[in-house]
Chains A and B, each alone.
Chain A
């Protein structure tokens, strides 16, 4: 046999064995290289797309984090404020008077155009200042008041001065009014705290995410309180106690299906059941949370079952071997060891719920609501629906605010996912 191989190899060509192997090997290497390049290209493509997405959001959104203000010396006139009810004072007149001081020569029709520089929030700001400090009445006070949306855009260079006048939102004279204020040095653009301290508004310069943040918080809390215990309970039962038969197989298949059901379907279900049959309040974070819980539960069940399955059988045997009951094995040993995995799954499920829009639209959480909800049954929006509303609004100021809201939402999502990764790496055990 040895003879045979050596003679045949020698007869064909000196190095048949090696060179043919070399050919095949080179082909395999080429294949490998091709695969590597394709993989890298795919990753590069995905990274580029992500970068473009983030860059476009940030580049249009960062301007919403500042808001143009005017620093006005306002005389708080006692005769314009009823002593018995200071809240009903004519603060608008006082703010307008302070602004018009910069235009001593303005005619009547010009005055109206000039006062439109002020946001309707300017008078409210003065009012709030006066109400919190009544000593201001009868004195001069310096107040930083917001300007209205168009002038905010102008100040942020979002309004192109080179466009023909009829295609601009502000005509030449309006721009001239504003430039005069700028020359006077009273225009500033401080950080736009309104974005997080105010609820929604028709005016972009007064609109904020407070209502949406609180609405999302309530909805997520309700979602967590419902889906976490129910999901874990169902998973423990299915994984540890249920007999494996056709029924449990059927249930398992359906839970997997449920996780893949489009979220809008859950919204329709909630609309029909929670609002239709049970008559629960429309637009309420409570209902939103319940709807999101329906969606999150399959995710939690699946991840909990996976985490329970990942606990090595040796631990169960050890506990059973010293005489622990099934219940003690599950709750004393298996569940604590599975907890990091369960929490990771839960957080990822909640992060999904936080970004979910469609079901909330169907239960009316995209309503225009100008106050933050005080309880889970008050009407509210959520972050994704607020983004939806703003994206739909015609005012220019909402363009950058939409992006800003997306950035806020993404920040929360990234934070939640980071927490999940942290929990997993911190509590992961090796056997």
Chain B
């Protein structure tokens, strides 16, 4: 019945569970048709990279996955997106609840102008994940460890999060995102504002995170996609052109547009 034409035949059936299923997704900004007929299946415990030239819709599609587009008045999403088989655009789904389950890390590190501790504790607090202070302390520590930043900040949890370096801030944001025990982590160009060393640390972290989460990362850097992801989706002008194993996309792309982009002729 369902035929996600490009990738179905190539998918290694049975190896990984499918976490997110998107079918015929259309996104409109007013009259602008930003995403056209995108169908994709994103695997659990895998890093999936969205690549493509600027304005191709990869970030827009990413933001559909946790309904961040809902906050934009003129944005309209059609089609069907399901996480673990549950339609996230169903009327009964509260986007607030959804976003606890689908964490997001943004392009620019955006810690709250609060202490490091409060940054991480905020999500668990509003979702009532901790019954008392010591439980909250545990959650914060676990999240900071997962964000690979615990050793750097454990002695100054009350220091403002905005006082950290850019790379530390981004890892703090990742820690903040994982603190609510999400199942999916969305990352919108998480390294574009970071220097190469910080980028390396974050990429290493992403690699570790895939043990527990399904990670979807939007990136401008094809090298980064090649380094961190197992699956890659190439977007162009709002279309999903090609979706396959990263290795295959980079060595043997099926579509001429993908090949042009990867070899640097478009985008």
Contact = CB atoms under 8 A, between A and B. Distances in A.
Interface in A316-330: 316-325, 328
A111 interface: no
Nearest to B104: A321
Interface in A374-428: none
A239 to B, nearest CB: 13
A136 to B, nearest CB: 65
A318 B111 contact: yes
Contact of A323 (B71, B105, B113, B123): B123
Given A315-B110, A328-B126, A321 B73 contact: no
B112 A321 contact: no
Contacts of A246: none
Contact of B97 (A243, A314, A319, A323): A323
A323 B100 contact: yes
Interface string A242-274: 011000000000000000000000000000000
A7 to B, nearest CB: 41
B136 to A, nearest CB: 14
Given A244-B73, A318-B106, A323 B162 contact: no
Given A243-B73, A328-B126, A319 B112 contact: yes
B106 A323 contact: no
A324 B126 contact: yes
Given A320-B68, A321-B177, A324-B126, A314 B110 contact: yes
B73 A322 contact: no
A337 interface: yes
Contact of A318 (B66, B98, B100, B112): B112
B180 interface: yes
Nearest to B110: A314
B173 to A, nearest CB: 7
Given A317-B106, A328-B126, A431-B162, A322 B68 contact: no
Given A244-B73, A317-B106, A322-B176, A429 B123 contact: no
Given A314-B106, A314-B108, A321 B66 contact: yes
A322 B108 contact: no
Contacts of A333: 112
A324 to B, nearest CB: 6
B55 to A, nearest CB: 19
A322 to B, nearest CB: 4
A315 B73 contact: no
Nearest to A322: B123
A333 B125 CA distance: 14
A317 B123 CA distance: 13
Q: What's the dominant secondary structure at chain A's contact region?
A: helix
B184 to A, nearest CB: 12
B103 interface: yes
> Which residue among B97, B126, B162, B180 has the maximum number of chain A CB atoms within 10 Å of its CB?
B126
A243 B179 CA distance: 32
Interface in B168-212: 173, 176-177, 179-180
Contacts of B177: 321-322
A314 B107 CA distance: 9
B110 A318 contact: yes
Interface in A300-344: 312, 314-325, 328, 333, 337
B99 A323 contact: yes
B266 interface: no
A322 B99 contact: yes
Nearest to A316: B71
Contact of B173 (A318, A323, A337): A318
Contacts of B113: 315, 337, 429, 431
A320 B108 contact: no
B250 interface: no
Task: Output the residue of A315, A317, A325, A431 with the most chain B CB within 10 A.
Answer: A317
Interface in B50-74: 66, 68, 71, 73
B71 A320 contact: yes
A317 B96 contact: no
A320 B180 CA distance: 13
A324 B73 contact: no
B106 A322 contact: no
Contacts of B66: 321
B8 interface: no
B127 A323 contact: yes
Nearest to A329: B71
A429 B73 CA distance: 28
Contacts of B106: 314, 317-318, 321
B110 A323 contact: no
B28 interface: no
Contacts of A337: 113
A431 B98 CA distance: 28
A429 B176 CA distance: 21
A267 to B, nearest CB: 39
A238 to B, nearest CB: 14
A240 to B, nearest CB: 11
Nearest to B74: A244
B77 to A, nearest CB: 16
Contacts of B71: 316, 320
A323 B122 CA distance: 10
Contact of B99 (A315, A320, A429): A320
B84 to A, nearest CB: 17
A325 B112 contact: no
Given A243-B73, A318-B173, A323 B68 contact: no
13 contacts: A243-B73, A244-B73, A315-B110, A315-B112, A318-B176, A319-B122, A321-B103, A322-B103, A322-B122, A322-B177, A322-B180, A323-B100, A324-B122
Interface of B: 66, 68, 71, 73, 96-100, 103-106, 108, 110-113, 122-123, 126-127, 162, 173, 176-177, 179-180
Interface of A: 243-244, 312, 314-325, 328, 333, 337, 429, 431
Given A319-B112, A324-B126, 19 more contacts: A314-B106, A315-B113, A317-B104, A318-B110, A318-B173, A318-B176, A320-B68, A321-B66, A321-B68, A321-B103, A321-B177, A322-B100, A322-B103, A322-B179, A323-B127, A324-B96, A324-B122, A328-B126, A333-B112
The 7 lowest CB-CB distance pairs between A and B, nearest first, are: A323-B100, A322-B123, A314-B110, A321-B104, A323-B99, A318-B110, A325-B96
